[in-house]
C-alpha cells in the first residue's frame, strides 16, 4: 500500500468539509427541523472555496492553505452564530467542516515548511 502524502491528506480533509455542506448545519434542540450548509449563503461560499482549494492542492499551489484558513474562519463564525440562537445547536456538518478545514490548514502549512531547505554552504 502506498503512503499518503501531506497534500493528499489535505485534499481528503477538504473533501470532508465539502461533504459537511450537505449535512445538517443547525438542528433544533427538540429534534425538529434542521438546515444544511447549502441552505445558507456561507455554506455555498464554503462549498465553492472548498472545490477551488481541492484543485489548487492538486496542481501543487503552495498557498492553498489560505483557502483552508478562509473556510475554517467562516465555519468557526457560523458555529458561534448558531450557538447564540436559542433552541438551536450546531449540526454535524458544521462541526465536520470546522475540523476538516482546520486540519487541512495544519497539514498544508506543515507541508509548506517541510519543503523549505537551507541554502547550500558557500565555498
More confident residue, 52 or 123: 52
Residues 45-71 have pLDDT tens digits of 999 999 999 999 999 888 899 999 999
The set of cell numbers assigned to 19 is 461533504
Report the percentage of the chain scoring pLDDT > 70: 94
pLDDT score, position 68: 93
- Residue 62 is classified by DSSP as G
Q: What is the dihedral of CA 11, 90, 71, 20, to 10 degrees?
A: 30
Q: What is the pTM (predicted TM-score) of this model?
A: 0.86
Mean pLDDT computed over every residue of the chain: 88
pLDDT score, position 82: 82
Alpha carbon of 31 to those of 4, 24, 25, 91: distances in Å?
39, 12, 13, 11
Amino acid at each position: 500500500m502506498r503512503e499518503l502524502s501531506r497534500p493528499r491528506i489535505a485534499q481528503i480533509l477538504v473533501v470532508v468539509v465539502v461533504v459537511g455542506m450537505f449535512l445538517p448545519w443547525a438542528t433544533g434542540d427538540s429534534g425538529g427541523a434542521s438546515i444544511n450548509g447549502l441552505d445558507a449563503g456561507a455554506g455555498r461560499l464554503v462549498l465553492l472555496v472548498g472545490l477551488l482549494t481541492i484543485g489548487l492542492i492538486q496542481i501543487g499551489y503552495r498557498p492553498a492553505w489560505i483557502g483552508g484558513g478562509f473556510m475554517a474562519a467562516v465555519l468557526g463564525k457560523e458555529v458561534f452564530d448558531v450557538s447564540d440562537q436559542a433552541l438551536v445547536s450546531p449540526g454535524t456538518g458544521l462541526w465536520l467542516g470546522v475540523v476538516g478545514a482546520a486540519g487541512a490548514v495544519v497539514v498544508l502549512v506543515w507541508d509548506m515548511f517541510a519543503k523549505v531547505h537551507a541554502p547550500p554552504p558557500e565555498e
